[in-house]
Amino acid sequence: MSAPRARTTFEASAPADASFFCHGEDPATPETQQSSLIPQPPDPSTQTQSMSDLIVHGGTPLSGIITPSGNKNSALPILCATLLADGPVTLLNVPHITDVEKLASFFSDQGSAIAWDRAAGRMDIDHAGFDGRRLNGELPAGMRSSVLLFAPLLHRLKKFALPSNAKGCSLGIRELDPHLEILEKLGARVSHGAALKLSLKGRFKGARHWPDYMSVTATENFVMAAALADSESVLLNAASEPHVQDLCAVLAAMGADIDGIGTSRLTVRGVKKLKGGTFTINTDHHEIVTFLALGAITGGEVKVRNSLPQHFDLIARSFAKLGVEIGHQGGTAIVRKNQRLAVEQPFTPNLLPKIEAAPWPYFPVDLLPCMIALAVRAEGAVMFWNKVYEGGFTWMSELSKFGAHVVVSDPHRITVFGAKPLRPAVVEAPYIIRAAVALYMVAASIEGKSVVKNADTIRRAHPNFVENLRSLGAGVEWK
């Protein structure tokens, strides 16, 4: 039995050169409730000059058709899971984003063969030459997928060590404990002092585990480890976000035996090996919602292909609370032009309307900023309740520069009083993907020139953000 562990947390004061960070956006997704986290912003003193400000010429309705990119919160764990396969893997619809670049470079550095056609979104992966001796105690920095390498690396290498100074998240304190607890339950040995050391004798061991809360990345680590365990494993209180479902579906296609996909109880019967193959990354529901919201806030008509309507019931209801109707024609989602933005009043009198965000199947917390931007333009007042991030509303002061009226009740709740006179402004984007998008949304709805400074975090999730906006008629550029 391993020695008792001190509680391992990630704090917002992380050094810029720490070798491991938590994620988002995801996160994808947060560890106090789920694991959609974002890393600390890079130290400007170490960065080369790049175009990071969005110059926005607002007041134009955005209309047109968008084809969304692959879901980065699916692509990253699926890329990590390729280490579990006995043969080569081909992934389609791979988004061309920074985190995928880092992970592909990490694999290449360890000897894997990576061929990536970025324009076509195709990546061919062969880990036959993967050599753990090249690891040198470092995982890719500044990305959610680093923690998702734990289970695959244990399976492949049987042991590795990392520095213990890994910290940092823009959205608040995060912890490694849920991941380490799951790996220990499944037979790994964990110890740490100056270094975090993980080892595995033979195969993972089947086990039953009930964590304190739903964590996206901890659930993904569980299912990757349990897929190759020596017997049946059960995870209660499992996260069930669409990207978790996507990972499970790919593992199942590789030969894993998984029941309960899309629910809070996962049962995994371990198999001896997983095969390679060709798999497609699903489209990003975050990006789908983002462009629908952009159409709504500017009064345009936007259609988004490959829209995953099976995930939209609650999302569509949340749009409706702000006066926006979302329709579907087959696999295409549509927001019609000139919709009247107005907060829907509840049947119960004197009750403040609200939109609550929490782990799936609640409304996705990563999309809350888009709804906040819409509420700024909608007639009426509405409360937003972020049940996940304690630092998710730190950018409200920037929103107020446009003239928005927002009352911050506590770190988790705000009330927006909409339809106030707005004006162009220069605002500072936080290192939160969808918050930067929300600031752009408000700017795009206001006639005149606005600037969203340091908005390049958007590129972490939307590889062709400005190009897509221009195709809809937006006046926007990077500077």
* Same domain, residue pair 157 and 193: yes
Sign, Cα dihedral of 144, 146, 152, 155: negative
131: domain CATH number is 3.65.10.10
pLDDT top residue among 233 and 36: 233
In a domain, 13, yes or no: no
Q: What is the pLDDT of residues 414-449, one digit of tens each?
A: 999 999 999 999 999 999 999 999 999 999 999 999
Q: 265 and 223 in one domain?
A: yes
Could you tell me the pTM of the whole model?
0.86
Residue 82: pLDDT over 60:
yes
Say how far apart CA 138 and CA 17 lie, in whole Å.
Answer: 11
Q: At what angle do helices 177-185 and 150-157 cross, to 10 degrees?
A: 40
As for how many domains the chain has, the answer is 2
Residues 229 and 340 in one domain: no
Rounded-to-integer distance, Cα 72 and Cα 433, Å: 12
Is the pLDDT score of 50 beyond 90? no
107 and 225 housed in the same domain: yes
| 29 belongs to a structural domain | no
Q: Is residue 99 part of a domain?
A: yes
Whole-number pLDDT of residue 163: 77
Domain for residue 39, yes or no?
no
Q: Specify if 22 maps to a domain.
A: no
Q: Which domain holds residue 248?
A: 70-280
Q: Which residues are catalytic?
A: 169
Same domain, 257 and 333: no
Burial 130-166 (b: 16+ CB within 10 A, else e): beeeebeeebbbbbbbbbbbbbbbbbbbeebebebeb
What the block records as the tokens of 261 is 């996909």
How far apart are the two ends of the chain, measured CA to CA in Å? 56
How is the beta sheet containing 448-453 ordered, strand by strand? 426-428, 448-453, 54-58, 475-478
- Say if residue 29's pLDDT is above 60: no
Report the DSSP beta bridge partners of residue 326: 335
DSSP track, 246-266: HHHHHHHHHT-EEE-TTSSEE
- Same domain? For 336 and 242 the reply is no
Q: Are 348 and 386 in contact (CB under 8 A)?
A: no
